[in-house]
Amino acid sequence: MAQDIRFVDGPWETPRSDLSAEDYCAVCLIDLNPPGAPKVKARCKLPIRKRPGGPIYRNALRNAASRIFQMTDVPREERRRAARRLVRLMRMAGISVGESLLRLAGMK
């Protein structure tokens, strides 16, 4: 993970309609598309940027931290992997991390 990640505050809205499927999946923490297959937006979850390479929104991280527990359609190992990445990003952004997210990430 690059250390030059920029974090911003501000209103957060999921960029689903504004991006191609490839770009939408690139801004999400979870991509359930099979490797090499065409991207399908519905298989990508928890966006944290409005565009690839753009800054990460702190409000998107907070949103992802609450939504990750509601994702019954995502395999547990994928949620755990996303939770680990989410914990690292939240710490880098100066956001406190709850114990339940740390447990899901296997970090507690």
| pLDDT mean by block of 10 residues, the chain; 108 residues | 77 86 96 96 96 95 96 94 97 96 93
Do you know the residue count of the chain?
A: 108
| Phi and psi, residue 30, nearest 5° | -125, 125
**Residue 4 counted as domain residue:** no
**Residue 31 counted as domain residue:** yes
**Residue 24 counted as domain residue:** yes
pLDDT of residue 65: 97
pLDDT of residue 2: 47
> Which pair of structure tokens corresponds to residue 106?
């296997």
Q: What range defines the domain where residue 43 resides?
A: 13-104
pLDDT of residue 1: 43
**Residue 1 counted as domain residue:** no
The model's pTM is 0.90
**Residue 3 counted as domain residue:** no
Residue 35: CB atoms within 10 A of its CB come to 5
Answer yes or no: are the C-beta atoms of 25 and 41 closer than 8 Å.
yes
The residue whose two tokens read 């753009």 is: 54
Q: Which of 62, 47, 38 is nearest to 14 (CA)?
A: 47
